[in-house]
Every structure is written in structure tokens, then in C-alpha cells.
Structure 1
């Protein structure tokens, strides 16, 4: 009966692995970019989700171009690269041999007719890039330059949010690579802002959850090895979990590079070292667990190659390390293939737990192979490490727990002189429960903090644009009357240019506190962007709303600012919301009223008249 249950579980795990890899679902295949243009006018983001922009992009080698340059007849002719790209695919279109270059990447997209806020998630675009959407600067990863001295590599995702006019968007990337020479570019993903945000949160949550699980299992099994020094299997299994737990924070959603901007040289070296040490620990785990099956040469070869690889990772350049990883992979995958053969033989001989270890090991080798192909060619499905690690940890944890379960059964049959051993094992189980409970609580707190961070402006601690839209939509659903107002600090650019952005940030924080206090009981405020704030005033009386706005404005202007030795003033544009207009229209009308106030001399409130 046990063998039948085990076989059923094994079949289930294999099916899940294959389903994840093949990704057999009913998702409609989106159109692909052709010669730098993509038509998504018939695409339903609500129904079919985000779109990967894989396909032909226009690329202008060794030129940094702006949107206005593409209207010029003298502009150089574009080359068309296919994303995802690597050195092989790039060499087919690159007009020179050298893989150190910079350039401009461009794609024009026609979108469906709607008023949604869109999001764009950019991952790898050579070693550094700068993004413009409709000629608006959206952010930069690393330092983009025309030579090695002016460039600085850095790998982290860039999430951008924007509105679209005329249902057309132009994406321009300035990008460069004078370090890695791998020509790696992964396609960005476009979708509604909430879809991109949800994808980011799920990625972070997945990686943090897996890190918590790996950390818990690693510490537990290392602690177990301290208690039971004769059994080294838990020690090496714990080291394996810790190494890949650390790697999980660096790759995948790149939690650490996003939160802690250290040199990318540190991250890529640590990422490789964790693989080398983790694979060595995996080999050692197999060797000590099935010492009768594996010869010593198996662990010696893995050890020697790991030592050499760590030295290379510590001192070599990225290019040399990427060359070394090929012979390393050949050797280690050969050892893994040999290990699979040995475990199959062990299963045939009836070696205890060989079947479960074989199942988990095959899954992890499959994911390692998949990820190695992806990292070197970008030609297949992206990382399967989360699934592979989960299956492997489940099977190996089952193996180790089954061993101790058998030990418990033996202990129960022993006389009273063996009672101390039973108490020791119970103590280990109690510690595991405490560790799991503590790590689970820490994970929940981390996820809650991440959710709060995604809805709060980091500088002013006010609700950000996303949360403001959610709160306003809640008022709409409740059919409450309200006014939308856009407040802008007058001549704030002069303040920043004169006194510096640090002083400007202090003024923004002070103004945020004063606006929050002034709106208690009558509305709420959030940061809309830059020096702009969005204010919501409850009620339907336009005269009262205008009077309240003027009271707020006057209270701001009356306060003497010790930083710039003069008052700070704001201009406010107001528009009433009703069911005859959309929320986006109300916001746009408030912005028009703000513009009229600016033209009228600033430091005033204007009500939009329909």
C-alpha cells in the first residue's frame, strides 16, 4: 500500500513539472512585433493578460536617439533584432564584430481604446539601460554610456507606469554593454498597471516564500547535524538550502539588487559562488547518504571543480566567468547524470529511500539544465528553479524525516535506557515547529510590509497614485459626492535648483504633513507625482469646496519657511465628479483648472466649470 501511495505521489510531481514546463493552457497567443511595430488594438488585456514584447525591435547601433530624431530624413537605417537576443542572434544583424557597443532600441505599439494606466516591466537590456515612454524619461538601470569609462552595469527590473494619448505608445531604450559582451536582451512585458503591479508582488512573494522555506529547512537540518554529528546528510542538505536561498534573493525577481544597490560585480560573483557551493553540497549529500553506492572519485571531482570555480568567480571578469561556466556545466551535468544512474541501480537493489531521492534529484537536475540553457541562450522557458527546488526539498525532507521516523519506531521498542534518545528527537521536532512558526510569521510581516510599500510614497508617506485611485474608486462605488483637486507647488523647480533636492524633499515632507492635517474630516490627500498632490474633498457644494481649498491654500502660504526664508505657495485646480464623466476626465479637468491658475499668477484656486 505504501509503495502504491509513493508511486502516485511521484507521478503527480512529474506531471506538475511537465505541466509547468510545457505551460499547456488556453491563453491566446498575442501578436508579435514586426520591424519595430506591434498592433495590439484587438488585444484584450482584461481577458488575456499582459503581453511579452518578444519579436522584432528596431535597433540603431552606436547611436543614442530621441523621439524627435525618428522624424528626420537623415536618420540612419535601423537594424531589426529579435527578442530575446543573445550573442548568436545579435551577430546576425550587428554591423560589426565587437560585442562592446551601445545603441537605441525602439518599438511603436498601437493599443486598444481605453483610458487605463499602463505598466511596463523591463528586465535585462544589455548591461545598462535608460527608458523613455512617449519621449518621457521613466528611469534608468545602471549607467548608460558610450564607452566603458562612462558605463556601469547593473541588473534589476524596472517597473514603469504611464498613461497613453491617442492609444499609441513609443518605447525607446538607450542601452549599452562594455562589460558582459553577451548581447542579452529579454523582452519587456506590457499590461495594465494593476496587472504589472500584481505580477511584481507575486514574484517578490514567491521568492521570499521560497527563501523563507529554504532558510528554515537549512537552519533546521544544520541544527540537526549538530545534534547528530554522525549523520552528515542533514548538514550538506542544510548548506544546499542556504546557498540556493541566498541565490533566490539575487536572481529571479532580484529582491536584493532591488532593495540593496551594491555593485553588480558583488552580486554576480555571489550568485555564481552560491551555485558552485550548492551543487557541491548536493553531491556531498548524495555521497554521504548513499556511501555504499558512490565511489570517492565522485565527490573528489566535484570538490576540485568547485574550488577552481570559486577562485574564477572571485577574481575573473564576467566574460571569463561566462566562458568557464561551460566546462564547469559539462563536468557537473556529467556527474549528475552518473548520479541518476547510480540511484537507479540503488533503487533496483532495494536501497532504502533511493527512489525518493532519485525522484527529487531528477527534478532538480531537470530544472538546472533548463535554467542553464536559458541563462546562456534565453531560448527556452525562464527559471524553473522555484518549482524544482520545492519538489527536491519536499522529497529530501521526506527522506530525512522518514529516517528519523524509523528511528522513532526503533526507539519505542527499546528499553528505558534508550529513553534519552527519544527525548532528544522530540526536542528536535519542537524546535522545528518553533522555527517554522517564527519564519512563517516573519514572512507574513514581510509580505504585509511589501504591500504597504507598494501603496505608499516612500518620501512623504502619503498614499501614492495607485492607492489614491483605489480610494477614489471606492467613493465612486459607494456613490458619494466628492471633488477631485490637483495641487502643485509654485516654482518648485527654482527651489530645487537653488537650494538642492535634499531641501526640496524636506519641503515636500513638511507640506504633506500640513495638507494631511488640514484635510482631517473633509477629505484626504496623496502624492500624485513630483511636486503635485491629489486632494479629494467630500461633498457636492462647489462653493464650499472652493472655500475649503482656499483655506488650505492660504494656510500653506501664511507659513514662513525657514529653509528658503520665504513662504511656499501652491496652486489648486478643482473639478466635481459626477456619474456623467469618468474619473480620468475629472482628473484631467482638475489639471486644466490648475493650469489656468498657473497662468493666472499662481497661489490661487480655480474651479473647473463644465
Structure 2
């Protein structure tokens, strides 16, 4: 006892860190979905001979249950749900235990004849005793190496999806791992869970993960929490890796930061590959993407060891010999080449051998670290703590798969990896603390120290790839501003008005700018609480004019208040980042997500031809409404006419698409921020509703743009539906589109010949550009005319989309995007007219 007390007294920091880590680990464990697995152990539910009886327990209503046991197996047969409904099941091949694999499964009752690692078949489980009306949920993880899943209850068939593509041979099969969540409401009858799977590209056919059942909400909650935890892990690994890589580039003598950064990246890549997150890099599942995930998974394991030892060797050079590193690098390279040039079934066989090598290396490493800790080498004891925690998780995961079914299925390696990352960060903080104390001793002269620190901060500030500056209560930019501000806005923004910078083409009577100005000015002189409420109304993103991009340059804005001695807002720091590239990726990812939702809904429709009739009718209504809004007669329409016909068009489309819930919901969301009832009830609108000029252009633009977006949704839905039934829609003929193009050309020629007095746009020179900007300001309806031309071009783009001519569609969509970037006529310049009107018009008029 005295020895223990003495140790704790001399190692208070180590004891504090260990205790804190233990507390955090327990907290994370108790907050995670793994709690459900602990609860599962209270009830031993097993399927027997392909049947699972839940009538004797209510646990499935309250907890998530891990289902194990015997499933009925049909070798080399893909059952059809219809056969189960009609009770026409073929002869089964016996029972298989899940989770488990079929490599040693005897065929035709002959123990000598085995199923082997490759093949296909169907797995059927009958579930009985579930309460009527119960929202039943389930989760399936890692069925090797592809599968689809259906639930059959009575005459109801519920396709739940799957991963990869099942096939009866290697050419038809596509492998993919993943976690599937599904749910349905039971009607009280017995139901069947049918899994059809095949494997030709991995080690074995079978379930190498788990099947869990329980209440839909709890299953879904665990499913989401697991994803959030995964992204939390990814975020920590990525941030720490980038930080340490940045430290290395700042101090290239610090090889330890470089190796630790590589190790974090290795863990990051391993995590991404194990969870098959790399699949997002590919437009659709393929065996190439499956191979890529598995190769990254194994390569990260084989090279993680030597990279980690290089990091330790930097910290404790005398304890990790160079000869060992050469041997380990040679071994890892040899195994890595096998992974690189062979298929997963081949290189999987190397895993056991390398695990033995890893275990021996770990034992040697831990021995050396214990020696260093005994000698009290700096940072050795806390590093030993981190290593102990980390390698416990690695060892646990190895045993988890080697002794399958013996240990509870809880993967710890990534949790212990995060713990080690934090402990390493603590070591880094200690090293920086020591470096700072040493710097204090060296910097005896205060003026030199201040000058040096000021220079470092200035360089750091100017090296930021963001525009950083502060604004005062008058919304004027206060210097200094980051150097990147000049690059981003093409001018020095010091002493300029904030909204003149981010909205350079706005007018003084712009209602939106007026509202934003009031929100910003309201927080000055206010406290933190009120600031937090109002901040959400600040502009979060803007689009700046960019001659190289039809869609413009996307900027993201964030704010941080400066408080005075009374804790009241005195200034606001603004950080502006150019996120154009990320915005493009985000929009593409969002479109893919929407298409996935659409396709998921379409799959569940029984008569897919009825979908086309609904969509065709809705599309015609939307395009008819837009054509009416842009017709020559629209000059005589009132604001009330636009709103009334907009409402009629929306109501018609919603009535037709009410059975397509996903499409209907998106249309509701799109129209929610332009509420017809609220607008028509407004007193200002009522005063001038019979005047053609009162707000007419504004409402015409708003309703046309909303309707164009809705038509775009419908076209996306049609595109998804054609993946299931290739039906030609009779929307418009090419000759009619050409008439609309000629109409658009007429508008363009009108604006050039009558407004700018130019007959040949190819002959325009610099002098004419300046004159054109002046003439545009004199033309009273120039802004409205440009808006109409932009809408007409966008509509032509939609018609070409309906005709499946994507290249022509993009051409007119880009032209519409350029016109959107034109500012109001009072802020037009010759350069802007050339970039966003003349040059784009050449491709339209040619």
C-alpha cells in the first residue's frame, strides 16, 4: 500500500489522465448504441431450424436484440418472394448458423462435399409471435459479399434493399459491404425474412456481421448514432492528422509529427475502407470499388505498424533499433505487394501470418516502452499508457474475429485509437509548453519579443485563405484586413461598407438588403444573449460575379463578436471563405441524395407506368404555366394574375403527385417560403393589386423561378423512373423547341439592335462597350427584359432535358446563369456586359 501511495504521489499527472480517460470511456460506452448489445445478453433468442418464435417474450418491443441461430438455406437457388407467398418453396439444403459462413457446409448430406467459399443461395427465416401493428425494425451488417433482403408477410412483399448485386456467376455478381436498415408495420401474421446472397470476390459466403431486430425507433436511433459516432471518429482523425502535418511543415525537423500524421491518415483510410465510405467516390457499386476498399483496408493494416514504430523511434530512438525498422518495412512491403497485385480471396490468406508478426512486434515494443518507463525517459510513461490502451483495442479486435462468437461483438480498436490520439496530443502540448518556457528564457528583451510575435501573427493572418476583417456599428470595414481579401474582392476593402462588398450590384431600395442591414446594426451595443438570437439572420452565403463561372463564385460567411468591458458588442469580425468548389460537390451530392430518395420511392410503386402518366401531366401543367408567365401577353398581366395562376399550377401539380410523397414534400418545401395566402393578405399588396405595374415584375420573377425549380424536380423524378421503365414522354417536339429558340434569338437581337444600337456583336470594340453600358441605363425596362430572356433560356434548357439532350440543356442553362450575374442596369459596366451578355450570346446567336 505504501508503494502504491508513493507511486500515485509522484505521478499525479499520469494518474489524473488515466482516471479521466477511464471516465470518458465509460461515458462513451454508456451513451453509445453498444448499450443495446449488453441488454441483448439478458435474453437468449435463437432461431431453430429456420424459425424464430417471439411469442414468449416482449423484449423485442423494448430493446434491440441480436438474432443468432439456424436459418433455412437453399443452395444455388435465388428464391422469389412470390414462391413464399404461394407456399411453393423448393427443397432446402439444410440449416446454417448465422452469424457464420458456408465454406464447410455439407452439400446433399455428404460431409465430404463442401459448399466452399464461392457460390450463391437464399437464406430464409420465419418469424412468429410479433404483435399486430408493431413498427418492426431491423439492421443487417456485412453480408459477404453482396445481398438483397425482402420481408414477406401474408401477401405483402416488402423489398428492403441490399448492397452490391447478386448473381449466379462471377460475371453477374458485384460485391459491396454495408449496413442496411429497414422497417415495416406487422399485421400480426407470421412473416419471413429472405436474404439472397452470393460471393465470388471475397473469402466466404455468409453473414460476417450481425442481424438485429427491435422497435423501429430504437433501431433507427442506434443506426443514426452509429453513423454520427463514425463521423465523429473520422473528424478527430482527420483534424489531428492535418494539424500534425501542418506542424511538420512549420518545423521540418520534427519528424515525429510527420510520422504521427501519417499514422492518423492510415487509421482514417482504414476506417473509411472498413465502413465502405470510399464507395461515395464511385458513381455506382462495382467490383473495382469493392477491391479498392478491401485493398485499402489491408494495406492500412500492413503499413500501420512500421509507420507507428517510426513515430515511436523518433520519441525513443535508443529503444527502437534501426535494424528492426528495416526488417519490418521489408515485411510490410512484401505483404503490401501481395495485396496490391492479387484479389481479396488470395490476399486474405496472408492476414493470419501478419497478425502473428504484429503480435510479436507489439510484445517487443511494449517491453521496450516498459524499460523506458522504468528509467523515466521523458514522456515514456504517459506514452506507455496510451500504447497499452491502444493495443488492448487492437488485440481485442483480432481475437474478436478469430474467436468468433466467444467474445461480445464490440469493436474497440477505433475507440482506443481515439484515446491514444488524445494522449499524444497531451504529449505535444507538454513539448510545446517546454518549448515556450525555453523561448521565454531566450527572449529577455520585451520589445524584440513583441516585435517577433507581432510578425508571426501578421504572417499567419496574411497566410489565411480567407478574407478576415472587422466591421463597426456603421457596418464599415475596419483595417487591418487579411491579404486574401484583396485577392478575393479584387480591391482593397478597408473603409468600405460591408454590404457594398458582398452585394456590389444591389440597389438602395432593395428590401432584402434593408432587412439585413437592420439585423446587423441591431446587435451593436447588445449583450451576448441577444446577439446569439439575431446572428442566424445575418447573411451566411453569397454569390459573387465571376466571369469564369456561369453560376458565380460561392462565398461562406461566419461571424464572431468583439465585446467591450461591459460585455456589449462593439465590433464584429467577419470571415469569408471561397467555397465554390465545395459548393459544387455539395450540390452534386445533394442531387445524388435526392435521386436516391426518388428511386427508393419508385421501387415501392406497384404500377410504374402510372407514375409516368402522373409526371407527364404535372410536367405539362408546369411548363404551360411558365410559358404563360413568359408570353408576350404577360406585359398586360397584373401581379394578382401571376399569383393566382401560380397557385392554380401548384395546386394542380400537388393534386397529381400526392401519391409520390417524396416529390410532393419537396414541392411543398420549395413553395413554403413564398406563401400565396400571406402575400395576398398583405396590406401593401391589396392597395395595388389591380395595377399592372405595382410589384408586377417582382412577382412575375418569383413565381416563374419557383415553377422552373418545380419542373426541374419533376424532370429529375422522370429520369429516375426511366431506370425502371423506359417510356417515352410526349412533352414537346424538337420543332417546337426550335421555335422557342428563334423567339429567344429575337429577344436577344432586339436588345442588341434597339437598346445598344449594334447589329453585329462580333464587331463590338472597347469604345462601344462603354457606350452600351450608358445606353442600358437609359432603357427603362432593361432589367426586366434581361430577366425574361434568362427565364426563356432556362425553359429551353428544361425542354431539352425532357428530350434527353443534356448537352443542349447545359448550353442554355449556362447562358441563363450568365444573365443572372448581370447586376441592375445602374451598376453595369462594359466589362460585365462583355463577360455575361455579349460573349455568352455569341454561342446562342451563332
Q: State TM-score, norm by structure 1.
A: 0.70
Q: Does 1:338 align with 2:360?
A: no
Instruction: Pick closer, same or farther for the CA change 1:160–1:516 going to 2, 3 Å.
Output: farther
Instruction: Give unmatched runs, 5+ long, in structure 2.
Output: 1-8, 466-555, 560-576, 625-645, 669-710, 719-726, 733-846
Cα separation, 2, equivalents of 1:142 and 1:307: 31
Q: What is residue 397 of structure 1 aligned with on the other side?
A: 425
1:327-356 Cα deviation digits (max 9, x unpaired)? 122112211111111101100001111111
Q: What is residue 67 of structure 2 aligned with on the other side?
A: 53
Could you say what secondary structure the match of 1:187 adopts?
strand
Q: 1:104 aligns with which of 99, 103, 122?
A: 122
Q: Does 1:251 align with 2:367?
A: no
1:273-329 Cα deviation digits (max 9, x unpaired)? 223333322111111111011111222222112212221221111122111122122
1:63-120 Cα deviation digits (max 9, x unpaired)? 2223454676883244222222146775799852532121110111125324243332
Kept in 2: contact 1:30–1:51 (CA 8 A): no
Instruction: Pick closer, same or farther for the CA change 1:4–1:126 going to 2, 3 Å.
Output: same
Could you say what secondary structure the match of 2:318 adopts?
coil
Q: 1:458 aligns with which of 589, 594, 599?
A: 594
Q: 1:415 aligns with which of 427, 443, 446?
A: 443
Kept in 2: contact 1:208–1:249 (CA 8 A): no
> How big is the alpha-carbon RMSD for the aligned residues of Structure 1 and Structure 2?
4.9
Q: Does 1:174 align with 2:191?
A: no
1:206-245 Cα deviation digits (max 9, x unpaired)? 1111111111110111111122222211111111111212
Instruction: Pick closer, same or farther for the CA change 1:52–1:228 going to 2, 3 Å.
Output: same
Cα separation, 1, equivalents of 2:101 and 2:404: 7
Q: How does 1:34-113 map to 2 (within 5 A)?
A: 34-44=48-58, 48-67=62-81, 69=83, 75-86=90-101, 90=105, 96-113=114-131
Could you say what secondary structure the match of 1:292 adopts?
helix
Cα separation, 1, equivalents of 2:313 and 2:205: 39
Q: Which is higher, the Rg of structure 1 or of structure 2? A: 2
Q: Does 1:197 align with 2:215?
A: no
Q: 1:165 aligns with which of 187, 194, 197?
A: 187
Cα separation, 2, equivalents of 1:192 and 1:86: 28
Deviation at 1:184, TM superposition (A): 4.1
Cα separation, 2, equivalents of 1:227 and 1:251: 33
Instruction: Pick closer, same or farther for the CA change 1:234–1:269 going to 2, 3 Å.
Output: same
Instruction: Pick closer, same or farther for the CA change 1:87–1:413 going to 2, 3 Å.
Output: farther
Q: Does 1:565 align with 2:730?
A: yes
Q: 2:229 aligns with which of 202, 206, 212?
A: 206
Q: State TM-score, norm by structure 2.
A: 0.52
Instruction: Give unmatched runs, 5+ long, in structure 1.
Output: 466-487, 536-555, 568-610
Q: What is residue 165 of structure 2 aligned with on the other side?
A: 143
Deviation at 1:182, TM superposition (A): 2.4
Cα separation, 1, equivalents of 2:18 and 2:622: 57
Q: How does 1:497-576 map to 2 (within 5 A)?
A: 517-518=650-651, 527-528=660-661, 564-565=729-730
Cα separation, 1, equivalents of 2:67 and 2:649: 41
Deviation at 1:250, TM superposition (A): 2.7
Kept in 2: contact 1:54–1:83 (CA 8 A): yes
Higher relative contact order (CA 8 A, sep 6+): 1
Cα separation, 2, equivalents of 1:112 and 1:199: 21
Cα separation, 1, equivalents of 2:450 and 2:658: 64
Q: What is residue 12 of structure 2 aligned with on the other side?
A: 4
Q: 1:187 aligns with which of 210, 216, 231?
A: 210
Q: 2:137 aligns with which of 119, 135, 146?
A: 119
Cα separation, 2, equivalents of 1:289 and 1:211: 26
Could you say what secondary structure the match of 1:238 adopts?
helix
Instruction: Pick closer, same or farther for the CA change 1:504–1:4 going to 2, 3 Å.
Output: farther
Count of paired positions = 505
Could you say what secondary structure the match of 2:159 adopts?
strand
Between structures 1 and 2, the one with greater helix share: 2
Q: What is residue 603 of structure 1 aligned with on the other side?
A: none
Cα separation, 1, equivalents of 2:93 and 2:658: 46
1:510-551 Cα deviation digits (max 9, x unpaired)? 99x9999329999x968447999999xxxxxxxxxxxxxxxx
